[in-house]
A and B are shown apart, each in its own frame.
Chain A
């Protein structure tokens, strides 16, 4: 495991002459990515913009992003980890059996050519999407592409970056990281943060029925999570802060309408390269901001008597 070798999108814009997208469809899901950062812009070390860059797309189907690619590699579903492992072997000059390559849906010639191009690049970047991180293998697929990027640095400069989702998902991870040391799945019930995905992560807590109340902020789990998790949200007192009516607000006991961050409320949004960007509202809203509501809830809770001092049970004593 090599950790995450990354950079800012500004560096991609100014330096990247090799751009690879794996399991992502930016033409549909990140429509400004090509034009603003990764492909079209002229940069300091890529003065001719698109003409100075090679773009490779790896996916299980021909998406709209194929039109923008120089090379399209159609991989067999669920074979990402195998293909990445083969690429790592080829990068190190190890022998790879053609039969092993065939099960990925690609040829040894295609992968050898890809490795040659990667090594010849002056600055390579690999962006990966949910087609890699949400299929069989999940975090091991992500670890594999991050390790490939790290290992390519023995030959040239290479980085990897996840194509993060809409809203401020990167911001949630980054703030949790610098406040607790962990990106998600953090349990505060003992008074200090503990991290264990699969035990303290939201879906697992809801599916097991471990929580007896929920505050949903800037998300719509009612339209994204597995049905058993949604069913539990409907059973317990769920409070939703959202500018719009959503599937979650419909099942919640309380829905507080809030202003839209970035449109009618200020705030900070984190770009997918983890750069914080201040958001200035263009319009006024009659509704409070998420921050106002959370502060008022926090204040009201703080005014209540200390339940632990009054003999309340902690999680430890319950066990």
Chain B
């Protein structure tokens, strides 16, 4: 299955906000920030099902996420902010002081294909 292009939008979730107050140094937090939500048709098109790993690449880096189906528009991906999204973010701020942290064009492919 070849890599496909998507628009990635990191965001905050209520679950993540609660977990931050418990602590980030645990498996629960890691699971939250490593779970990528995508449309069912996109999952089918990529040949992945819930819990499968995908490799997400930008021009700045790459990270691996577990996918789950969600009510999101086709062609768009959503994931809570965290260390994996840091690896995908560029250091440039366009003179604003803030890096672009949403609306990245990314390339996605299932991990088993990427590893070959």
Contact = CB atoms under 8 A, between A and B. Distances in A.
B24 A203 contact: no
A203 B99 contact: yes
B98 to A, nearest CB: 6
Given A60-B73, A77-B9, A224 B93 contact: no
B102 interface: yes
Contacts, number: 118
Contacts of B96: 138-139, 197-198, 201
B1 interface: no
A225 interface: yes
B2 interface: no
A287 interface: no
Contact of A227 (B14, B87, B93, B97): B87
A226 B99 CA distance: 8
A207 B91 contact: yes
B24 A220 contact: yes
A245 interface: yes
Interface string B31-70: 0010000000000000000000000000011000000000
Interface in A200-247: 201-204, 207, 220, 222-230, 244-247
B97 A226 contact: no
Nearest to B22: A244
Interface stretch (A25-33, A42-50, A108-116, A146-154): A25-33
Interface in A65-85: 74, 77-78
Contact of A135 (B33, B60, B72, B103): B103
A61 B72 contact: yes
A134 B98 contact: yes
B90 A223 contact: no
A227 B94 contact: no
B15 to A, nearest CB: 8
Most A CB contacts (10 A, CB to CB) among B7, B17, B93 go to B93
B4 interface: no
Interface in B67-86: 71-73, 76, 78, 81-83, 86
A130 B23 CA distance: 24
Interface residues of B, number: 39
A197 B95 contact: yes
A218 to B, nearest CB: 13
A62 interface: yes
A211 to B, nearest CB: 14
A166 B9 CA distance: 19
A49 to B, nearest CB: 23
Contacts of A226: 60, 86, 89-91, 99
Nearest to A197: B97
B13 interface: yes
A162 interface: no
A184 interface: yes
Most A CB contacts (10 A, CB to CB) among B82, B87, B98 go to B98
A209 to B, nearest CB: 11
A246 B71 CA distance: 31
A78 B24 CA distance: 31
B73 A204 contact: no
11 contacts: A29-B12, A29-B14, A29-B17, A134-B98, A135-B102, A136-B100, A138-B96, A198-B95, A222-B86, A226-B60, A227-B89
Interface of B: 7, 9, 11-14, 17, 20, 23-25, 33, 60-61, 71-73, 76, 78, 81-83, 86-87, 89-103
Given A226-B60, A245-B24, 9 more contacts: A29-B14, A74-B73, A131-B102, A134-B100, A166-B17, A198-B96, A201-B97, A226-B90, A244-B23
